[in-house]
Structures are given as structure tokens and as C-alpha cells.
Amino acid sequence: MSALPWGLGLGVFLCVPFVSSVLASIAMVVAGRLQRGKERHVAENGRNAANWGLTYLLLTVVLVGTHFGLLYALTRDGGSIDGFFPFGIIILTWITVSVVHVGFSIAGLVKGLRQEIFSAPAISFFSRPEVDDERR
């Protein structure tokens, strides 16, 4: 099923902040990579979902890690952060990326159910799948 890897991206709604994002990303990557060697649109959607899942995972780790790392560094000696901005821009960027992730997951799910290929702008971690001519 070409929609499965994209549908797993909606696991971000498990409502465990940050952890849900990591789990949804990993699920997308694993399910996407398991689609290799299948029909062209299934394999292509799997690759695209895996690429986006890994991109989202990377963004989550960097942005959330930076946010909490800075929070710790700035407050460890009893210091405080006055106001939300500009410090909050990092976590707001991650929230924005997460909303975009949900949109991509829904679009990929719908396109996959229609047996169409969906591609999100992502880092190309995985190359195009090899597919037998009979399955194209």
C-alpha cells in the first residue's frame, strides 16, 4: 500500500510532545524503506516518505535539542530568560515544521490512496528505487 508510510506520519498525534514526532518519523522511514522493489508508485511513495521522515526527524532533533540546550545553558546558574522572544523562535520554528509535516502526511496519504506519487521537499537520503520493467 503506497499510502502506509505517509499515514504513519500522522503518529505525531500520539500527544507525547517531541517523542511522538520522533516515533512518527522513524515509522515513516521504516515503512517507506520496506516498499522497495514493489510497484513503481508504491516504491516511489515509500522512498519519498522515508526521505521526508528522516528530514523531519533531523529537524526535530536539531531544533528541539537546540531549544532545550540553550534553555539549560542560559538558566543553569540561576539565570532567567526574560520573555518568550527571541528565545522562543526556535521552538516556534519546530512547531511550524510539525504543522507542515502533518500537511505533508495527509497529502501523501490521500495521493497514495489514489495510487499517485507524492513528493515533499526533503533531503534526498535514499536514491530512486530499482523497479522491474514488468511492475511499472
122 in a structural domain: no
118 in a structural domain: no
**Boundaries of domain holding 93:** 4-112
For residue 131, pLDDT over 70 is answered with no
Task: Give the integer Cα–Cα distance in Å for 55 and 122.
Answer: 6
Q: Which residues, other chains included, contact 70 with Cβ-Cβ below 8 Å and sequence gap of 6+?
A: 87, 90
132 in a structural domain: no
117 in a structural domain: no
133 in a structural domain: no
With a pLDDT cut of 70, the percent of the chain lying above it is 94
- Number of domains composing the chain: 1
Q: What is the pLDDT of residues 55-69, one digit of tens each?
A: 999 999 999 999 999
pTM across the whole model: 0.88
61 in a structural domain: yes
105 in a structural domain: yes
